[in-house]
Amino acid sequence: MKGNQLFVLSLAACLLAGCVSQSKYKELETKASRDIAALRSQTADLEARKAAHERQIAGLNDQLGATEKRATETGAEIVRLKGTYDSLVKDLQGEISKGQIKVTQIRDKLSVQLVEKILFDSGKAEIKAEGKEVLSKVGKVLLGVTDKQIRIEGYTDSVPISAALRQRFPTNWELSTQRATTVLRFLETAGVDGKNLAAVGYGPFRPVASNDTLEGRAENRRIEIALTPLDVQEVLKELR
C-alpha cells in the first residue's frame, strides 16, 4: 500500500515538473517570437531609410550634374557675350568717348545705354539721322546674337509732357514706350530676328541720376538695349 502511494506521489511530482517546463518553454518561445518580429521591423525600417538615403544621394548627384552643366553653359555664354561686348565697344568708340553711349557687361548680361539726344529730338519718337547711324552699327553686331533676349527699354525724366504734346503722348509712359518700339522696329528692319526682340517703356521710373539737375535729367532720358538670357524666368526676374 505504501509502495503504491509513493509511486503516485512520484508520478504527480514528475507531471508537475513537466508542466512547469512546458510553461517556461512557451514563455521563452513567445519572447523569442517578439524579439524576432522586433528585429524584422527594425531591419525593414533600416532598409527603408537606406533606400531613402540612396534616393536622396541620387537626387543630389542629379542636382550637382545640372548645376555643373549650367555653370559650363553660363561660362560659354559669358565668353560669347564678351565677344559681342568687344565688337560694340570697337564699333562705337567715337560715341562712347563722347559720353553718348555706355556699354556694360555683368556676367551673362549686356547693356547698351544711349542718351536721348543721339536718337531723338525732345518730345519726339522719330529717330534722327545720327541715331540711325548709331543703331545701324548696333544692329550689325546684334545680327550675330541668337541666344539672347534683346529687350529695348525706354526711359524719360520726371518732367511732365507739355500741353502741346499731350494729344500724342498723354504721359511719359506713352513717350518712353513709343521710343522703345521705334528702336525695336528699326533693329528688326535691319535684320535682327524679331522673335528675340521685346520693347518696354518705364516712363520716369528707374532713373539713373537725380531729376533735380539738368545733367541728371539728361542721363535719365535714355534708351537701353539689354541682352539677357532667353530663359523665361530670368527675363521675368529682370522685369521686376
CA dist., res. 226 & res. 111, Å (int): 4
Residue 28 has pLDDT above 90, yes or no: no
Contact 154, 177 (CB under 8 A): yes
Provide the percentage of residues in the chain whose pLDDT is more than 90.
49
pLDDT at 8: 47
Look at 66 and 233; give whichever has higher pLDDT: 66
**Residue 184 to residues 125, 195, 207, 215, 223, Cα–Cα distance (Å):** 12, 11, 21, 27, 11
Mean pLDDT for all residues in the chain: 85
Domain spans of the chain? 78-239
C-alpha cell at 63: 542636382
pLDDT at 72: 67
**How many Cβ atoms are within 10 Å of 109's Cβ, its own excluded?**
17
pTM of the model: 0.67
- Could you report the per-residue pLDDT of 73-102, keeping only the tens digit for each? 667 778 788 888 898 889 888 899 988 899
- Could you report the per-residue pLDDT of 99-139, keeping only the tens digit for each? 889 999 888 889 999 999 999 999 999 999 999 999 999 99
pLDDT at 58: 86
pLDDT at 235: 47
Residue 151: what residue type? R
Look at 231 and 83; give whichever has higher pLDDT: 83
Mean pLDDT of 146-161: 94
Tell me which CATH code domain 78-239 carries. Answer: 3.30.1330.60
